[in-house]
């Protein structure tokens, strides 16, 4: 029987020399891989009480939506600045080279809600750290963060200390 790692394509020297790119499209293009990825993420939430699933654009949408649907929870998208039509709350954060800004609808998260965040990959942790701050600014609590993959060598967990973080597959490097 295949393991999750068997569905993840590794591409050496992309986007630059010395980097191994972990390609999520190879999971999406395989029905068994896609089903396994959603099932494994959902398994991490089986004993967690929560009200909403938050997923960042775009791969957080891919993995968060089926979880929200299967567990009969709301799904809250987090998008790049300027993509949402209603009143938003936003957060700037640093990237490895530069910065970015994300936003979510102010009305999407209610005070007192318990929230899980789902994404495909934890690298430096900056995006999810910014999402956690947005959720907390709206008065909700992050009760779990689940990633399909983690690049442990980038130490993203340091930015998420104090939060319940789990990954399905962890790679030691960058």
Which one of 59, 79, 157, 166 is the catalytic residue? 59
CB neighbours of residue 74 within 10 Å = 14
Residue 168's Cβ-count burial label (10 Å; 0-12, 13-18, 19+) is buried
Which one of 16, 17, 49, 96 is the catalytic residue? 96
Residue 59 annotated as catalytic: yes
Residue 22 annotated as catalytic: no
**Contacts (Cβ under 8 Å, ≥6 apart) of 81:** 90, 100, 101, 102, 103
Q: Which residues are catalytic?
A: 59, 96
């Amino acid at each position: 029987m295949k393991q999750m790692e068997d569905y993840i394509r590794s591409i050496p020297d992309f986007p630059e020399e010395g980097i191994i790119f972990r390609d999520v499209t190879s999971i999406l293009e395989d029905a068994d891989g896609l089903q396994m990825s959603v099932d494994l993420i959902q398994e991490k939430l089986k004993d967690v009480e929560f009200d909403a699933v938050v997923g960042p654009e775009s791969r957080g949408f891919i993995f968060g939506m089926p979880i929200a649907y299967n567990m009969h929870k709301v799904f809250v998208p987090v998008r790049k600045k300027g993509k949402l039509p209603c009143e938003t709350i936003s957060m700037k954060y640093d990237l490895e080279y530069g910065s970015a800004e994300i936003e979510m609808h102010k009305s999407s998260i209610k005070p007192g809600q318990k929230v899980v965040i789902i994404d495909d990959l934890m690298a430096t942790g900056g995006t999810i750290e910014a999402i956690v701050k947005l959720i907390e600014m709206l008065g909700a609590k992050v009760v779990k963060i689940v990633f399909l993959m983690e690049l442990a060598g980038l130490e993203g967990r340091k930015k998420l200390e104090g939060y319940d973080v789990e990954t399905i597959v962890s790679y030691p490097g960058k």
